[in-house]
Amino acid sequence: MNAPTGGPLSRARLLTSPSVGPSVVRELERITGRPAGSTDRVGPGEPFVYVGDVLPEALRTPRLLWFHSVNAGTDALLSAGTWPEGALLTRTVGRMGERIAQYALGWVLAECQSVAEHTAQHARAEWRRLPSELAAGRTAVVHGTGRIGSTVAGLLRACGVRTIGVGRTPRAAPAGFDRMVLAGTAEETTALAEARWVVSTLPLTGSTQRYFGAARFTAMRGATFINVGRGATVDMAALRDALHGGTVRRAVLDVLPDEPAGPDDPAWRLPHTVITSHSSGITADEDVVTDFAACWEALTEGHAPALAVDTRRGY
């Protein structure tokens, strides 16, 4: 990863995509001290910084110094074409971890309090007591132990839930986790068997495609599966079989392999499943501004931004 500093960055044009709102553009201009332009106003050979949601093919050139994505996920950007050699890619996370953590906790507590069942009873005008379940003392296994996964684990842990993180390399447990296990080991299989909830915050990379398949779903013993990462990390046929077989009790899917899901998508017919419209961690304008400013400050001080993406690994 190359960090554009000094001369090239100081003379680079600031370009923004049409998806970036006027209030954000004004803040970007304030931070960089230069006016923002559109893609048709960059001169030949002129270096530029681009802020947006997608990177047009015409801008995938060596003149691109830095692309700041207004989204957290970068898999679509990297799969859309060859990434320009030497160009920095950063992403927006902002308070997304908090939003996603609240989403996960909300569904955990709703299940403990039988919210869906009470709602159904209300619709039938039926009075019947339903038992509640304590979240404290139960186990959540969280796949993905970066900023978002750690925030999810931290909020669950604050409610007394035991949190186990699953990672690809040995390391000490990050903040929010009681302990770590290695992906693909007997330890992970044991953790999945103990889990009351399994939460995925995984990005989509070559190694996470269909990561959750028959082996992992079979290892679960009635856990609820919550996916707030990427839809294509799940083998949907294997999830369907696990839901029918009972190794997965319920599924809460904020993401799907194909989005938006049309009325004929088989995902809508999965048993014991709730689908939400990729809304657990919607990026706010202030997130874009705050994270861009942090990246700009790091670059002007000669440092690599904390939000930089390794374009070879995909995260």
Q: Give the pTM.
A: 0.88
Identify the active-site residue in 68, 162, 216, 278: 278
Q: Is 118 a catalytic residue?
A: no
- Cα 295 to Cα 308: distance, rounded to the nearest angstrom: 8
Identify the active-site residue in 13, 230, 240, 250: 230
Q: Is 68 a catalytic residue?
A: no
Backbone CA torsion sign across 167, 169, 173, 178: positive
> pLDDT tens digits for 120-133?
999 999 999 999 99
Q: Is 34 a catalytic residue?
A: no
pLDDT at position 246, please? 98
| Contact between residue 89 and residue 77 where contact means Cβ atoms under 8 Å apart | yes
pLDDT at position 226, please? 98
Identify the active-site residue in 259, 286, 297, 303: 259
Q: How many CB atoms lie within 10 A of CB 276?
A: 13
pLDDT at position 315, please? 79
pLDDT at position 7, please? 73
Residues of the chain with pLDDT under 50: none
pLDDT at position 43, please? 64
> pLDDT tens digits for 176-226?
999 999 999 999 999 999 999 999 999 998 899 999 999 999 999 999 999
